């Protein structure tokens, strides 16, 4: 049986990915988990504590998942397709990237939460950059900026396209847009 803290984090993550940080409330979480709001406050005294923990957990889980993809034996373009598929799969479940969803509400976050968010983004970009470095070495990707700049642009594209596709076009639009970008990068 799952620990109450994990249940709270799972419910909060699902809500943030579906409705955003500002629309998520402890009442929503308590209704989902079936506990009192006071129990949530016991584990996470303030919403910012919950957001910080969600971001840290995301760094670990998605960071490991992204690393598994980039450390594989596929070509760089194929790795980009697999990374895009992670975002497409989230979209098919009506869930945005957690970092992307929290980013849309970053102006309302506490400063320390913004630092954790920035670190999460930087960690993801660093992981993605290894694919662009590989693509340069194997001459399978063409881009004019640094690998980190290209990785940031690709990550931003995935997050932004996921947000837009949720409102217009769905996974079909997302898949087509991702394919166009990857084809443009591929030599």
DSSP codes of every residue in 45-67? SSHHHHHHHHHHHHHHHHHHHHH
Each residue's pLDDT tens digit, 104-148: 999 999 999 999 999 999 999 999 999 999 999 999 999 999 999
Each residue's pLDDT tens digit, 10-21: 999 999 999 999
Question: Which pLDDT score, from 0 to 100, does residue 102 have?
Answer: 96
Indicate whether 100 pLDDT > 70: yes
Q: With beta carbons less than 8 A apart as the criterion, state whether 112 and 52 touch.
A: yes
Question: Which pLDDT score, from 0 to 100, does residue 187 have?
Answer: 84
Question: Which pLDDT score, from 0 to 100, does residue 122 have?
Answer: 97
Question: Which pLDDT score, from 0 to 100, does residue 181 have?
Answer: 97
**Count of Cβ atoms closer than 10 Å to residue 64 Cβ:** 10
Indicate whether 101 pLDDT > 80: yes
Indicate whether 1 pLDDT > 80: no
pLDDT, mean over the chain: 96
- Model confidence, pTM: 0.93
Kindly state the average pLDDT of the residues 35-57.
Answer: 96
Q: Which residues are within 8 A (CB) of 24 and not within 5 positions of it... i.e. 6 or more apart?
A: 12, 15, 16
In terms of pLDDT, which residue wins out, 30 or 2? Answer: 30
Compute the distance between CA of residue 57 and CA of residue 66 in angstroms, rounded to an integer.
Answer: 14
Question: Which pLDDT score, from 0 to 100, does residue 37 have?
Answer: 95
Percent of the chain residues topping a pLDDT of 70: 99
Compute the distance between CA of residue 151 and CA of residue 125 in angstroms, rounded to an integer.
Answer: 5
Each residue's pLDDT tens digit, 66-76: 999 999 999 99
Indicate whether 2 pLDDT > 80: no
Q: Where are the beta strands (DSSP E) in 12-157?
A: none
Q: With beta carbons less than 8 A apart as the criterion, state whether 98 and 16 touch.
A: yes
């Amino acid at each position: 049986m799952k620990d109450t803290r994990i249940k709270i984090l799972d419910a909060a993550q699902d809500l943030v990915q579906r409705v955003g940080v500002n629309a998520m409330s402890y009442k929503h979480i308590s209704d989902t988990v079936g506990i009192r709001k006071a129990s949530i406050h016991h584990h996470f005294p303030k919403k910012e504590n919950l957001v910080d923990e969600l971001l840290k957990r995301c760094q670990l889980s998605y960071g490991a998942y992204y690393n598994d993809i980039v450390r594989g034996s596929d070509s760089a373009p194929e790795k980009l397709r697999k990374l895009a598929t992670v975002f497409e799969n989230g979209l098919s479940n009506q869930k945005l990237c957690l970092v992307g969803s929290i980013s849309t509400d970053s102006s309302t976050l506490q400063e320390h939460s913004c630092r954790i968010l920035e670190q999460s983004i930087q960690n993801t970009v660093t992981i993605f950059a290894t694919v662009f470095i590989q693509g340069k070495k194997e001459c399978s990707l063409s881009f004019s900026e640094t690998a980190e700049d290209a990785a940031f642009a690709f990550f931003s594209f995935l997050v932004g396209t996921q947000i837009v596709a949720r409102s217009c076009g769905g996974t079909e639009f997302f898949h087509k847009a991702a394919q166009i970008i990857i084809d443009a990068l591929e030599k």
